[in-house]
Amino acid sequence: MPSNKSVSDAPIIQFTNCRILRSHRLQREDLWVREGKILNPEKLFFDEKGSADIQLDCKDSIIAPGFIDVQINGGFGVDFSLATDDFKSGIDLVSQKILSHGVTSFCPTLVTSPPSVYHQVLPQISIRNGGAHGAGILGAHLEGPFISKEKKGAHPEHCLRTFEAGAFQDLLATYGSLDCVRIVTLAPEMKRSSEVIRELTKRGICVSLGHSVANLSQAEEAVQHGATFITHLFNAMLPFHHRDPGIVGLLTSDKIPAGRRVFYGMISDGIHTNPAALRIAHRAHPKGLVLVTDAIAGMGLAPGRHTLGQQVVEIDGLNTYIAGTKTLSGSVATMDTCVRHFQEATGCSVETALEAASLHAAQLLGIEHKKGTLNYDSDADFLMLNDGLYVQATYIAGEEVWRQDELGM
């Protein structure tokens, strides 16, 4: 047998009998992995004269990139917006548990909180690779407090802030540090937001528009200054109006700078967005749709009372409300459920549904060379799914980190 020693001593794993999502379509090919990366088999055969050390029969499974959740507030009793002494063990628990939902990377999300919470929590969030310990952390998503009072949703009004003179310094003082921050959601109609958007973008932080009463021209101006994302489209923004479609109008705007794509998050849980609205958004701008869970601490727990930052929320079935109101407050949907609901509601292809939970989020964050695809040399973070899009196994860096119990299938 030819030696694999020419480049690396690491074992080469060949996943056979599968359909791989590559170049936007499911292809009958094998997947080759070594040292946590996806290998080009041609280079392996012809340049290294190598072959597989281990072959795994995937039994006709779909192999797709691991899901990336850029908006998740917590789950399994853990609330990322609560400053606790054991915050690190909480984030570890969530990152471990979401492996079973196909999530291999995520952005822990903090809702509007007092500065003291940001100062305590953010130093405890570190960007890290995923593995057997859990999904990788891509950086924090800070949703607020620089948002609109009129569209605060489940965010506590007493913690909301506006930009004062020296707006960016004000933001820095509020958060304490931007070291591990990946996304900031703000309302673009706020005075001085343009300079903040420019400064955040300059630092490689993604600016998202949300919890806002912005009109379309204010939203377009924000995009021209560098904003690239919309936080949970349709929720917590002005409803679409034909004379001024507001932030929703960005999906078909002709004022987006050349070469720039605006992405938008959607909570595809059957609660936050009517299936017809989901279909409208998808048909208007399919390549920008990013599935997010917006999951709260109550995800994975029984109905009842739970927290979302400073607020108490009640879970009733799949509905989550601020206690005593009918104001929606995040979701208890899991990412794999959102993928299945999206595919069913829109009638889109399996490939499209899977890419909305992987590729598009990677493109939004500028990491599509490493995550969100199964291209050669990218990270071997992937899922095995059956035809119903139920996750059968989750792999990070080519290692199996979760598998469905056969009895539970």
Do 54 and 187 lie in one domain? The reply is no
Give the closest residue to 194 by CA, choosing from 225, 164, 168. 225
Over residues 81-108, mean pLDDT: 97
Residue 202 within a domain? yes
User: Is residue 49 scored above 90 in pLDDT?
Assistant: no
Task: Could you list the residues known to form a binding site, using ranges.
Answer: 143, 154, 211, 232, 235-236, 243, 272, 328-330
Express each pLDDT in 148-204 by its tens digit.
Answer: 999 999 999 999 999 988 999 999 999 999 999 999 999 999 999 999 999 999 999
Residue 7 within a domain? no
Residue 409 within a domain? no
User: Looking up tokens 């595919």, which residue turns up?
Assistant: 343
Do 72 and 105 lie in one domain? The reply is yes
405 — pLDDT class (breaks 50, 70, 90): confident
Do 229 and 360 lie in one domain? The reply is yes
pLDDT of residue 3: 46
Do 244 and 381 lie in one domain? The reply is no
- DSSP label at residue 230: E
pLDDT of residue 7: 61
pLDDT of residue 406: 61
pLDDT of residue 34: 96
44 — pLDDT class (breaks 50, 70, 90): confident
User: Is residue 409 scored above 50 in pLDDT?
Assistant: no
Residue 248 within a domain? yes
Residue 58 within a domain? yes
Do 78 and 55 lie in one domain? The reply is no
Over residues 71-86, mean pLDDT: 95
Task: Phi first, then psi: give them for residue 95, nearest 5 degrees.
Answer: -65, -30
User: Is residue 407 scored above 70 in pLDDT?
Assistant: no
Q: How many domains does the chain have?
A: 2
Do 134 and 267 lie in one domain? The reply is yes
Q: Render the burial of 235-257: b for 16+ CB within 10 Å, e for the rest.
A: bbbbebeeeebbbbbbbebeebe
Residue 140 within a domain? yes
366 — pLDDT class (breaks 50, 70, 90): very high
Residues with Cβ < 8 Å from 171, sequence gap 6 or more? 146, 163, 184, 196, 200
Residues with Cβ < 8 Å from 93, sequence gap 6 or more? 76, 78
Do 190 and 288 lie in one domain? The reply is yes
Express each pLDDT in 267-315 by its tens digit.
Answer: 999 999 999 999 999 999 999 999 999 999 999 998 999 999 999 999 9
Give the closest residue to 122 by CA, choosing from 232, 205, 190. 205
Compute the distance between CA of residue 142 and CA of residue 164 in angstroms, rounded to an integer.
19
Do 142 and 56 lie in one domain? The reply is no
Q: Could you confirm whether 405 is annotated as catalytic?
A: no
Instruction: Indicate if the alpha-carbon torsion angle 49, 52, 58, 63 is positive or negative.
Output: negative
User: Is residue 8 scored above 80 in pLDDT?
Assistant: no
Residue 358 within a domain? yes
Q: Is the distance from CB of 300 to CB of 101 less than 8 angstroms?
A: no
Q: Which domain holds residue 50?
A: 13-64+373-403
Which residues, listed in sequence order, are joined to residue 72 by a DSSP beta bridge?
A: 108, 295
Catalytic one among 79, 294, 379, 381? Answer: 294
CATH number at residue 46: 2.30.40.10
Q: Is the distance from CB of 320 to CB of 331 less than 8 angstroms?
A: yes
Compute the distance between CA of residue 367 and CA of residue 372 in angstroms, rounded to an integer.
8
Do 221 and 201 lie in one domain? The reply is yes
Do 299 and 328 lie in one domain? The reply is yes
Residue 183 within a domain? yes
Do 166 and 60 lie in one domain? The reply is no
On average, the pLDDT of the chain sits at 95
pLDDT of residue 2: 45
CATH number at residue 138: 3.20.20.140
Do 48 and 136 lie in one domain? The reply is no
